[in-house]
Structure 1
Amino acid sequence: MLLLSAVLLVAPATYGETYIAGQFGVALPGGLSDGDIHSSFLLPGTTHGELELSTSFQFGGKVGHYFDSTRWIGLEAEVFYTTPHIDQQVHTFQNTSVPGVTVSGTFQGAYFRVLTLAPFNLMFRYHKARLQPYVGVGPGIFFARITGEGPAPDSQESTADNARLGLNAKVGFEYYVSKHLTAFAEWKFNYARFTFDENQNLFPFPYGLDATYTMHLVSFGVGYHF
């Protein structure tokens, strides 16, 4: 136990460093939550219920740098991809001007893909041990794409795209296996507001929607520091 404690707590020489890393993990979506509906078939002010997203695999990479003068502060850029597809489910609509009245339709399901680009996360770490906790926060650019949703499985394929600015936040631990090699585990939270244009293939009527996208991600990876 003493030996293990010494290995974990004795800090390697710390210095300004640049690193690259690969990451993989699982995305645990919060969903596409309630928002406004855009449709020529519905009254203005119509809103929709939450669309549930499926759990998916996540992979990507990152590059960063910690500074010589302040070794506990750094900047990091990362990119990762996930596919939290929309399962078949009942989709509800309501309007505040007609309280108590809702309309429901079966959403046949769709492929939903999100590419996240975080151009700069501000990073803070405890750098005086081999096992280093860290937190990071910064803007994220979320490229979302929905394809294949329609009134029936053999309907004409439809596509909707989005690119929105949102939030990318994280907390994790990194362990220095050696001076240059590290392993890490982290939790990330993503938030963005999407607006999808009206889609003529949607059932029971063509519509577009606003939706709040929330995603929790658990990532693991290996980094090289130089």
Structure 2
Amino acid sequence: MKDKSNKRLHSQSFPKGANLLHDPLLNKGTAFPIKERELLQLEGLLPPHISSLEEQEMRALETVRAKTSDMEKYIYLISLQDRNETLFYRLVTDHIEEFMPIIYTPTVGWACQEYGHIFRRPRGLYISSNHKGSISKILANWPHRNVDAIVVTDGERILGLGDLGADGMGIPVGKLSLYTVCAGIHPGKTLPITIDIGTNNEKLLSDPLYIGLRQKRIAGTDYDDLLDEFVTSATKSFPNALI
């Protein structure tokens, strides 16, 4: 395993410098050792102290516990996941009873209701009714081909909260996070997807910060045809994935 890891680090395709620090699956933050900092062009981009994962976790735990509301904790944890997935999953796994209600129910429902207002960075894939006929092309944009688990929603019924449209993306993101924590599925092999077919939620349609299509939901044959195309395309693009 060590030889394979070293070979991978020396690969021309392995990201370096700032690009590496912006890749949440590969970023170790201040835990990169000296040799890797030299090899991966990270010298000067990180403070000199090399932190252990335990030290990083201590800092993250102190930060999240200082938040005064579950929504603030959710925003911090999702931001951490977007920066450093290794640290995120270490933190959540070690404190699962404390943070499971934050990254999933009940807090994720609140987060979905405010999703457009707390949106920081896109995660997963957004397929809309405008992509009909080209869904396979959209799926090809996902950078990881070895996908084992896909969670998909059209946002119509979110945890009993009703139609939240594209703001329902918090559900597949949160559910797949639990699959990683509880079932050990590598996060790079998971894919959250929202199929945005519009929303009948008038509050969202009039919200200038809503992130989805500003239209009523499609229905009937148009809806069925779009889902059929998605399932067919996803099965071909990710043949090993459970949807």
TM-score, scaled to structure 1: 0.19
Q: Which of these two proteins has the greater Rg computed from alpha carbons?
A: 1
| Structure number having the greater helix percentage | 2
Greater relative contact order structure (CA < 8 Å, 6+ sep): 1
| Structure number having the greater strand percentage | 1
